[in-house]
Chain A
Amino acid sequence: MVYQYVIIMAKSFNYISLSSVSIPKGVFDYVELANKIVYKYPSDKFYWIGTGDIPKGLDGRNVCFTGFLNEKEKKRMLTKSNTIFLNCSHFEGFSVPIAEACLLKVPVLCYKLPELYATYGPHINYVNCYNSNEFFKCLELLRKNFVIYKEKAVLARRFVIENYSAHKFTSKFMNSLEVLNERRIK
């Protein structure tokens, strides 16, 4: 209860997106979202970590484009209190940044791409594809119930460790190569 009270009192949130700055990665959606949120909650801050040219005509005054950050700086930003990880990307293969955010127990909100749902299941939070109004509403909801979503992020961390740890990956890789030996024997 005290923890909840502190968060409600703090009222300032950090939002982070981590990918190259490009249109398919949803930079316009992110900026639109930032403008809406900052208008309503002026003390909130939006960061975009990653390199790339900022597209022409982008009104990015409410977003801090940090450029390249090293591992330590990234971790420092993600582990700040009241941080939410946003992924507005329109296509993904796996999305390592989402897994890294889960690992640091940061709540994640992203579009419900079939690739992401197949990879992370119900352990992260989704919005119907490319619906920026719904994204805004979901983010407000996440902001208001941050403690509940933070608890869900703990489960997401466990899911990532169980499924995508280096050891698990290596054993999956070796198992998949077993088929080569079997074919040779046949």
Chain B
Amino acid sequence: MPKPLPQADTAIVVRARNGDRNAHAELYTLYAPAVFTLARRLLASRALAEDALQETFVEVIRKIGTCRDEAVVGAWIKRIAINKCLAHLRSFWVSRRSPDGDEQIPFEHARCTPADEALALERALDTLPATARFVVWLHDVEGCTHKEIGELMGRTASFSKSQLARAHERLRALLEEPTTHESHSLCTVEPKIC
């Protein structure tokens, strides 16, 4: 079950539609963590996630007037965020960009606590190819169907299914590899949370 989005007060959305900057700021406060998390998981880069977050809320500010149903403003904002991330995926600039230096954390297999396991899963997710990462996150966490994912990515539902299967296989392989003597650092160092 995908994590539920916070529900914006109807009055805030109405004020935002009328151009109230304070209302825009309230929407940002409410939804920015979910949007940034989504972008970070999809793009595996803090810098790109920051860009996507900014681009999303520029569009929210400019187009909130087109969102007629206050009850689904959160889903509307998230949809904009997903499309901003997809644009990054397709962008040639992203394909040429070298990875952020501080994102290149070597993958460690040692897991001692639930927090270590979560960190291992985060790192494993980051190592997936971008397309597979998009599919697995949109399907398993955001609750999108294969048909929806196919449409978003300009592919077929079958493509989405095969990408998901491969992504799960790869994640399982990464997480089930035995620990080694050299890979003990996750238990002894402060985990780096992006």
Tell me whether A and B are bound partners: no
Task: Give B contacts to A, CB under 8 Å.
Answer: none
Task: Give A contacts to B, CB under 8 Å.
Answer: none
